[in-house]
Structure 1
Amino acid sequence: MEMSRPVKPVLWGFVALVAVFLCAGTVMAKEKTLRLESVMVTAEKRKADLQDIPSSISAFSETDIEDARIQTIQDLSRLTPNMYIANWGIRGTSYVFIRGIGAVNNEPAVGYYVDGVGYMDSRAFDSNLYDIERIEVLRGPQGTLYGRNSLAGVINIITQKPDNETRMGVDLTAGNYNNYQGVARLALPLVQDRLFLGMAGNFESRDGYTENDYLDQDVDNHQAFNGRVRMRFTPTENLDITANIDGEKIDDGAFPLGRLEALRKRPRHIAYDYEGSYKRDGWGSSLNVAYGTPWFKLTSITAFRKFDDSADNDQDFTILPLITADETIDDEQFTQELRFASPNSNSDLKWLAGFFGFNKKKKHNLHLGFAPGVAIPWLPLDRVTDSDLTTSGMAFFGQATYTLYENLDLTFGLRYDYEKADIDNVMTMKSNGYSLGGDKMSESENSDAFLPKLQIAYHWTTGFMSYAGVSRGYRSGGFNTAYMDASDIHFDPEYSWNYEIGFKSSWLDNRLKVNTSLFFIDLEDQQVVQLLPSADTVIRNAGKSRSMGMEMDLIAILCKGLTLDAGFGYTDAEYREYKDSLAGTDYSGNTTIMAPEYTYNLGLEYRKDLSKTWGFFARTELIGIGPFYWNDANNLKQDAYQLVNLNLGLERDNIDLILWSRNLFDEEYEAVAFEFPGSDPVGQSGDPLTFGVTLRMRF
């Protein structure tokens, strides 16, 4: 296994010495008050202790999120073993991979949920995270409980819920690149024990990290507004009704892409002639009803989400006026989930059954403009593609766990997913206002899948549980609007089988927790993205692959005030069968794309009282990304790299002042790299060193 070069060994040697010094003289056995708190999660759609769930899960509490400055899913991925996100170009291009399985231009392979509502289009995944109670990352297929497009895993985000406690707060941040951020939150009871209100808002603005030397301006500037309002009504002890509405407005720069060779010599400097932009307006609402009876608990989640997305950019990434692109997407979805679950009790049988239905509409317009001589000799060409895609579906699912002999848990689950998709697509070509013809397509497709799950877990002691399981995942099929042959109009669903064993444990009187899993994943009818001679892409069921590896999460109290958290993931993913007939190449045996050989994160966190009112806080992180490939041919490689983050602060009951930095040593790496036929590889530089100060106030 190739390892990256050591990053600043003197620094980390110094950190280790400081840790030894801080813990010197402390005898763990005598620190009876030092305990790791239990982490309660809802990963399996019922509340349970993380250590009792026989699955590979990383969970982050509100304190974890604030201390580690988790503000985007990119931040989240760097602290989650075997999770990698290529976030590049615009916020709408976040390629999420877990255990070497992900998506580029096809349907997502990772489910993304906020307060139980799934975001069905990955274009909306990258949004600012604020006022969050907890984040859970589930690794491996989650088909039984979450269904379609969760064959790699699920990101589950839970926002703060208002209750009888009045909470108000403001976070203000200023940093380099003219980075200014603000978060405001308010939660209070309107009627004690009955009616509660929660509100939160977020603002972010910063200059771009990349300079366009030809236009003499930065490219990837950010500006975003986000807001959320929640009303909660609890008329009885058994009934909890929550209504949510949220919205966002994004106005960013776009696509800081340049020739890869030039970027490696001079990172974050590009040159092209057409200024791009990215805008997204979105909103959503949901109604969550939870009702408890002595016999079962009923949960209903009704939700509507919509976003309007537009991006325009230079498509040739040179100073010549050759090709431009203008893309708009209007997307809306309606979802309904209804489930029944066994009541919270000490019964040997715990069960859950439910129904899920959805309707999704997506309008997509893409306008490519070609300068004279690029596509047609002496003449310009405009190619416009309009598509209307409607997808609807339903699912029935259930899962039950039975406990034998007090220590042995047997779990069986099954889901049936059905969906129907219809597309109307029109492509037209014009030159100087004259029609040059086009193409029309009107197609329908039905698909369904049975998604079983079987697990066995044994609790050897109160602090040690081992488990084994097998589960199936499923990714939806779809349509290609660009194709060379009629057989490519449709592509079929993709399926995976995940085999996993692991253990969860706590040691040293609950001052150390270690969770480990081993996995093997087999993918059939794999959807692969291939490039047409026209530079369009087509998705085909041309591949079979397998991914195997392990991951580990660890957290330990080293001594009073000093905590260590760490994670490690190893993935060996390769194509078992894959022939690209367009390129005339056999990629069988090649490593799958965007599957780092290893990922690791190491965090040391220290807190100490300086006086009766003030305390000191410090956190340092080392994050490692192993080598991986950007393309199926395995000729575009990202070498291993490491990032260092550092937070230092002063804290008291109602105010914190924190100095922070990201990528402290300005490590150079690529955010993305790809190539078009007959041209040099194109890429984007990774984020540079950023730093700033955050003032957090609580009232």
Structure 2
Amino acid sequence: MHRRRLFAFLTTTAGLAVALPATAQQAADAPAQDVASTPTQTPAANPADGDVVVTARFRNESLQQVPIAITALSGASLAERQLNNVQAITAAIPSVNFRTGASNKDRTIFIRGVGTITTSPGVEPSVSTVLDGVVLTRPGQATLDLGEVERIEVLRGPQGTLFGKNASAGVVNIVTRDPGETFAAFGELGATTDEEYRVKAGVSGPLIPGKLAALIGGLYDDFDGNTRNVVTGNDTNASRRYGVRAKLIATPTETLKLTAIGDYLNTKETVAAVYASASQIAYPSRAVTTSAPLLAALGAQGITPSPTNRANATDIDTDVRDENYGGSLTAELGLGDYQVTSITAWRQWLNHQRQDYDGLTGLSTAFPQGLDDGTVNSKQFSQELRLTSPRGGLIDYVVGAYYLRGETDERYQRTLTTLTAGAPLTTVGVANYGITSHNYALFGEANVNFSAAFRAIAGYRSTWDTLDFYHVRTSSNDPTNSGAAALDRPAIRAYHNASGSTDRRGDSYRLGLQLDLGARAQTYFTYSRGYKGPAYNVYFNMRSLNATTLLDELPLSPETSDSFEIGLKGSTADRALSYSLAAYTTTFDGYQANFNDVVNGAQVTRLINAGSVRSRGVEADVTLRPTAGLTVDLSGAFTDATVRDFLCPPGAPTSCNINGQPLPFAPRVKLYENAAYRFALSDSLSMELQSDVSFSSKTQYSLNQTPSTIQPAYAIWNASVALIRPGDGWQLRAYVKNITDQSYASFLANGSFAGTVRFVPRDDRRYAGLLLRKDF
């Protein structure tokens, strides 16, 4: 039935494309650009027509003038290539990687090999995700569907001066589309051969001409999945999303602009890990442990673990329900040549997950049977106030103040059944825990313009943090709440009750020099000091705080970084060549990281100050336009991200000697190429041929350096062909993803009790699709 619906959809849309009315068009439009490069502007100048404008420093600037390693992806390009979330854009930006997981709360972004892996609500990510000027405090909030966006800006390296304490590795800045001054609408339909159906639509225009304009858009996306649970008979790795976003812009006076934004996204997912191997390889001995019981359990279900396996056998399908919503009000007031900006925002994130803890079906003497059920309720309120000076004088600047209150409450329950003396024994463990945080900051950044071509950069942010946590754990095996360690069960610990608080102050700053090399090139050198505040390791199975066990509830010290970066940006006069080059070295001290451990035969993690790590490398973005209609984008990153001095936590095995080893999610080489050629078939019809290739060298997915969690090098090749009617806004695009049918893992990890599991990415195998869009 799905195939019949897909065939009907494809034939209908093809017929619509053929039947489109003709309108005159002298020449084909240029293809959408992916990695934007624009001529240099002096500090006093406004970006020229056709330049890509970014807001990386809280003012509109030409991308090529900003002294930061930054990539901008247009919303049109993202939609055409079906890059619909932050995880998908990692292929197009070599310095960015993404850690997936069964639930949104387990996912996070990495830039230049640095990110924060944790399920604890007591720590913020190292990469900040900003949505229309609002910082998202939890990593899971960043997994939203992008919807209709104007562009995404990815700022690499510490950005704490302007973006705050959770930007020590970089920023993903999402800018959504504004309503236009005339009435407009858009509609988008998509379908794939592996049964993904996507609908996106919206309307925009003035409600009161010159005074009030609005845009409202919605989306629905349903993916059937690309793995299968042989026990339930259901496809897994599936998702269903629907959401809406509304933006209202009012200009009651010539000097006042008000922007109100509200958005809601509802997600259901069945993301499940599958067994890639029945073995685990130890570090550093490389001893291989193969589990015969695991092989037998999988074999009984007809599953052979392998790097291409797409089947699992669990009692239930992983079920994650997620709601992500909020609203903001931005006021921009002109005071002569100065501008005051206020951003008031509130957001809430609700997450409910049900997972098969043991990853198998049935109960045996070798493996227990477990079911996890957890909820997250995270709320945040923020207020930002900024003053922006005019440009062109000796000094231009942005100064401001920031306040954030975040509150996260979680409940996690694990039901575990084991065979004891031949009889099943069921234990239920429940943990209620949470965090309340307050963040206050004063910040500013300035250019000192020694001349029209030469300037100094100086920025500073002072941050105050207060952090409170609570944690109450109960176990049915400890009915009197004695807390005795003898009552611990595998993966379920006895009663525990704790709370605590900490407060710290820290500094972020940036110093640099920038020199314009003529009208269309510039070079810069910057030193940045990054700061990420204190943290608590608060999660379901954390260890107790007493004299005989590890001190998991002591607050983690802040994470700091020192970064040096030199860059060169520019373009030729006719923009046939645009380029951006950067070289950097960044050292992180007090690095906040998860370290895997085994307690009573079960995998657990500890969030620790892991010591010192370093990321250094070279990045390049080059755009070629050798002839009309042809654009070639080339991007590459060489990243040497390694552990300098790892601090083994108390009680850890000697195998935690990982000095000199690579950081997880940090391939040494990533490359990306995209070529698009648009040409006219007639006065009213154009065609675009597009092809892109991404390459990643081998990637270690575990800080523990286990050889079984290394993904070998791989390359993915995609291509598309589109028929475009520029005059009346129609576009029909056919595409193929993963043409060579290359299988790979987006994440590898040790299984709960044995073996190695892999998470299967969306493009783990070849599929094709059609996309039809109409702009009215």
The aligned residue for residue 411 of structure 2 is: 365
Pairing 1:304–2:352 present: no
1:583 aligns with 2:653: yes
1:335 corresponding residue in structure 2: 382
The separation in 1 between residues aligned to 2:76 and 2:222, in whole angstroms, is 24
1:641 partner amino acid: Y
Q: Percent identity?
A: 26
How far apart, in 1, do the equivalents of 2:197 and 2:478 lie? 45
Q: Which residue of 2 is the match for residue 55 of structure 1?
A: 68
Query: Given the alignment of the two structures, is residue 324 of structure 1 paired with residue 324 of structure 2, yes or no?
Result: no
Q: Does 1:64 align with 2:110?
A: no
Task: Determine if the alignment matches structure 1 residue 88 to structure 2 residue 88.
Answer: no
- In structure 2, the partner of 1:610 is 681
Residue of structure 1 in register with 2:756 after alignment: 681
Query: Take 1:580 and 1:65, find their aligned partners in 2: how far apart are those partners?
Result: 42
Corresponding residue number in structure 2 for 1:446 = 503
| AA matched with 1:299 | T
- Count the aligned residue pairs: 665
Amino acid at match of 1:404: F
Counterpart in the other structure of 2:137: 120
Residue 19 of structure 1 aligns with which residue? none
Whole-angstrom CA distance in 2 between matches of 1:266 and 1:53:
43
Aligned equivalent of 1:650: 723
Q: Secondary structure at the match of 2:610?
A: strand
Query: Structure 1 pair 588/600, CA: closer, same or farther in 2 (3 Å)?
Result: same
Residues 430 and 436, structure 1, Cα contact 8 Å, conserved in 2: no
Counterpart residue number, 1:166: 183
Note the aligned Cα RMSD (angstroms).
Answer: 2.1
Structure in which a larger fraction of residues adopt strand: 1
- Aligned pair in 2 of structure 1 residues 200, 680: CA closer, same or farther (>3 Å)? same
Tell me which residue corresponds to 2:291: none
The 5 Å alignment of 1:283-682 reads 283-321=325-363, 322-343=369-390, 345-373=391-419, 378-431=424-477, 437=483, 438-481=495-538, 482-483=542-543, 485=549, 487-489=551-553, 490-507=555-572, 509-534=574-599, 535-581=603-649, 582-585=652-655, 586-634=657-705, 635=707, 636-652=709-725, 653-675=728-750, 679-682=754-757
Report the Cα offset of residue 405 of structure 1: 2.6
Residue aligned with 2:137, SS? coil
CA displacement, residues 465-504 of structure 1 (integer Å, 9 cap, x when unaligned) = 1110010112232222312546331212111111101100
Say whether the 8 Å CA contact 1:82–1:598 is kept in structure 2. Answer: no
**Pair 530,265 (structure 1): closer, same or farther in 2 beyond 3 Å:** closer
> What is the rounded CA distance, in whole Å, between the counterparts of 1:521 and 1:211 in structure 2?
42
Unmatched runs of 5 consecutive residues or more in structure 1: 1-34
Checking the alignment, whether the CA contact within 8 Å between 1:506 and 1:512 is kept in structure 2 is yes
Indicate which of 210, 216, 235 corresponds to 1:218. 235
Determine the C-alpha separation between the residues in 2 that align with 1:263 and 1:167: 52
- The 2-side partners of 1:342 and 1:373 are apart by 70
Counterpart residue type for residue 653 of structure 2: A
Deviation at 1:260, TM superposition (A): 3.5
- Look up the SS of the partner of 2:662 in the other structure: coil
- The structural deviation recorded for 1:508 is 5.3
**What SS does the corresponding residue of 1:577 show, helix, strand or coil?**
strand
Deviates more, 1:499-508 or 1:51-60: 499-508
CA positional deviation for 1:460 = 1.7
If the length of structure 1 is used for normalisation, what is the TM-score? 0.92
- Secondary structure (helix, strand or coil) at the match of 2:89 reads helix
Q: For 1:59-115, what per-residue CA distance to the aligned partner results, in whole angstroms no more than 9, with x for missing partners?
A: 122333233332111221111121111233234432211111011105211110111
Q: 1:216 Cα shift? A: 2.0
Shift of 1:382: 1.0
Residue 269 of structure 1 corresponds to which residue in structure 2? 311
TM-score of the superposed pair, with normalisation by structure 2: 0.83
- The secondary structure found in structure 2 opposite 1:154 is strand
Q: Say which SS state the counterpart of residue 631 (structure 1) adopts.
A: coil
Alignment partners' CA distance in 2, 1:533 and 1:266? 27
* Counterpart secondary structure, 1:51: helix
**Alignment CA distance shift 1:435-1:47 (3 Å):** same
Give the C-alpha shift of residue 263 in structure 1.
4.4
Task: Specify whether residues 645 and 444 from structure 1 end up closer, same or farther in structure 2 by C-alpha distance, changes over 3 A only.
Answer: same
Distance in 2 of aligned mates of 1:383 and 1:332: 26
In 1: Cα distance, 2:426 partner to 2:235 partner? 29
Letter in 1 for 2:356: D
- The match for 1:139 is 156
2:233 maps to a residue whose letter is: D
Structure 1 residues 540 and 341, CA gap change in structure 2 (3 angstroms): same
Structure with higher RCO (Cα < 8 A, 6+ apart): 2
The alpha-carbon deviation at position 166 of structure 1 amounts to 1.5
Aligned to 2:29: none
Q: Which moved more, 1:300-309 or 1:433-442?
A: 433-442
Letter in 2 for 1:672: F
CA distance in 1, matches of 2:501, 2:144: 32
User: Which one-letter code corresponds to 1:538 in the other structure?
Assistant: R
Pair 1:45 & 2:58 matched = yes
Q: Per-residue CA shift, 1:153-174, capped at 9, x if unaligned?
A: 0000111111312110100111
Is the contact made by 1:56 and 1:139 (CA closer than 8 Å) also made in structure 2? yes
Q: Deviations over 1:228-267 (max 9, x none)?
A: 1111110122111011111011122132333435543542
Structure 1 residue 175, shift from structure 2 partner: 1.2
**How many Å separate the matches in 2 of 1:467 and 1:283?**
39
SS at match of 2:551: helix
Task: Look up the match of 2:170.
Answer: 153
Q: Distance in 2 between matches of 1:589 and 1:521?
A: 15
User: Is the Cα contact below 8 Å between 2:90 and 2:96 reproduced in 1?
Assistant: yes
Q: Residues 385-425 of structure 1: CA distance to partner in whole angstroms, max 9, x if unpaired?
A: 10121111110001110111321110100000111111111
Q: Secondary structure at 1:74's aligned position in 2?
A: helix
Distance 1:432 1:192, change over 3 A: same
Aligned partner of 1:31 in structure 2 is: none
1:252 equivalent in alignment to 2:269: yes
CA, structure 1 residues 663+89, in 2 after alignment: closer, same or farther (shift >3 Å)? farther
Q: Counterpart of 1:55 in 2: which secondary structure? A: coil
Give the letter aligned to residue 324 of structure 1: L
Q: Does 1:279 align with 2:345?
A: no
Pair 1:250–1:374, CA change in 2 (3 A)? farther
**Contact in 1 for aligned 2:575/2:625 (Cα 8 Å):** no
Deviations 1:180-217 (A, max 9, x none): 11001111101111011110001001111111123222
